[in-house]
Amino acid sequence: MLKLSCNVTDHIHNLFSNSRRIFVPVHRQTRPISCFQLKKEPLRAILSADHGNSSVRVADTVSGTSPADRLRFGRLMEDGFSYKEKFIVRSYEVGINKTATIETIANLLQEVACNHVQNVGFSTDGFATTLTMRKLHLIWVTARMHIEIYKYPAWSDVVEIETWCQSEGRIGTRRDWILKDCATGEVIGRATSKWVMMNQDTRRLQRVTDEVRDEYLVFCPPEPRLAFPEENNSSLKKIPKLEDPAQYSMLGLKPRRADLDMNQHVNNVTYIGWVLESIPQEIIDTHELKVITLDYRRECQQDDIVDSLTTSETPNEAVSKLTGTNGSTTSSKREHNESQFLHILRLSENGQEINRGRTQWRKKSSR
C-alpha cells in the first residue's frame, strides 16, 4: 500500500507526466514522503510501494537534468574556470601491477576534460566544439600530451581530477590536469596538453580565429595557470627524432574499429598503447612508467598499418631537483633504477612519421 503524508498525490502525478523516470528495484521498508522532502529536493521524488515482498523506487528528474548529471561526481569550482570530478578505479581498468594503467589515466583525463566543456555548454558531438567551430566544421586535435604519475591508483581507489584550459598563443589551446588521491589528498599525478584546430572536411590544420577564441576564453583563467610551473620542467623538452636502426620494434600494428573516436580518426590514447608495445619485456617486468610525452604529427586512419620503434636514451647531463607548487618533487637526474626511451610511430607503407615520444621508467616498488 502506497503511503503519502500531506496532500501530495497531484504533485507527484505532475512529476510523472512531465519528467523522465528511472525505475530501480530496492528492498526497503515502506516509509512516507513528506511535503517538506519534496520542497527540499525538487529534482527528485522517491516513492516506495509494496508489491508482495519487493519494492519499487521511482526517481524523477525535472526537465534539464539528465541521469548522467545526477550520477556524475563533478562540479565547476567557485571561480568558474576549473572543474573537478571524482572517479572510482574499476577492475577492468587495472593491469598486471594491480593498479590503473597509463591508458586508464589518459582516458580519465580525456573524460574529465569532455565533462568540463559539456558542463559549460559546449557541444557533445565533438571534443569541446563551440558554435562557430560547428558551423565551420572545425575540431580540436591533440598536438602534445605530457603525463607524470607519481603513484598509480589501485582498484577501488577514488581519484579526484581537476582540469582547466587556457589559450596557447594564436595556434591553439592548452589544457592541464592535477590528480589527487581522495583518501589522502596527495597529488599522485599531473598532466598538460596542447591542442590545435583542424578542418574536419579537409583534415588540414587551421589557425584559431578571434571569434572562436572569444567563445572559449570566457571559461579560461584570466592569468596563466600551469600544472607544471617549474622552470625547465620535463613537459617543455623537445623530443629528438629516433634514428634507424631502432633497438626494439613492434611492426604491423593495425587500428581496431573501437580505436576510432567521434572525430573519425584513431583516438590519442591508442597511440600510448602502441608506443608501449615496443618497450622491452624486461622493463615491463621490473619497472613502471613514470613520465610519458607524445608529440602528435599526423592523424591515423582505420586502414593505416603502424610500426612502433623504441631506443634507449641516455641523458647527457644530470639536472638538479625541481620542486613544484602543484605536486610532488620532480627530478631529471637519472639514477640506476630509472630508464629512459625514445619512441616513434610511423606508417609501415612509407615510413611517414605519425608520432614521436619519450618515456621515463622507475623501478617497481614492493607493495
Q: Residue 169 — left, alpha, or beta (φ > 0 → left; ψ -120 to 50 → alpha)?
A: left
pLDDT at 126: 60
pLDDT at 366: 67
Cell numbers describing residue 349: 607503407
pLDDT digits (tens, 9 = 90+) for 1-23: 444 444 434 443 443 344 333 33
C-alpha to C-alpha distances, 278 to 16, 25, 89, 166, 172, nearest whole angstrom: 56, 48, 26, 34, 31
CATH of the domain at 76: 3.10.129.10
Query: pLDDT-derived band of residue 237, with 50, 70 and 90 as boundaries?
Result: very high
Inside any domain, residue 205 = yes
* Per annotation, catalytic residue among 165, 300, 343, 355: 300
pLDDT at 315: 56
Helix or strand run (H / E) with residue 63:
none
In 233-246, which positions are buried (b, 16+ CB within 10 angstroms) versus exposed (e)? bbbeeebeebeeeb
Same domain (yes/no): 193, 74? yes
Average confidence (pLDDT) over 96-121: 92
> Which domain-ending residue is among 215, 236, 257?
236
The number of CA neighbours under 13 Å toward the Cβ of 10 is 2
265 counts as catalytic: yes
* Per annotation, catalytic residue among 116, 265, 287, 343: 265
pLDDT digits (tens, 9 = 90+) for 122-136: 866 666 778 888 888
* Per annotation, catalytic residue among 107, 119, 263, 326: 263
Same domain (yes/no): 205, 341? no
pLDDT at 15: 39
Inside any domain, residue 19 = no
Same domain (yes/no): 202, 259? no
pLDDT at 367: 55
Answer yes or no: are the C-beta atoms of 357 and 275 closer than 8 Å.
Answer: yes
Same domain (yes/no): 251, 153? no
pLDDT digits (tens, 9 = 90+) for 261-320: 877 788 889 999 999 999 999 999 999 999 999 999 998 888 999 999 999 997 543 333
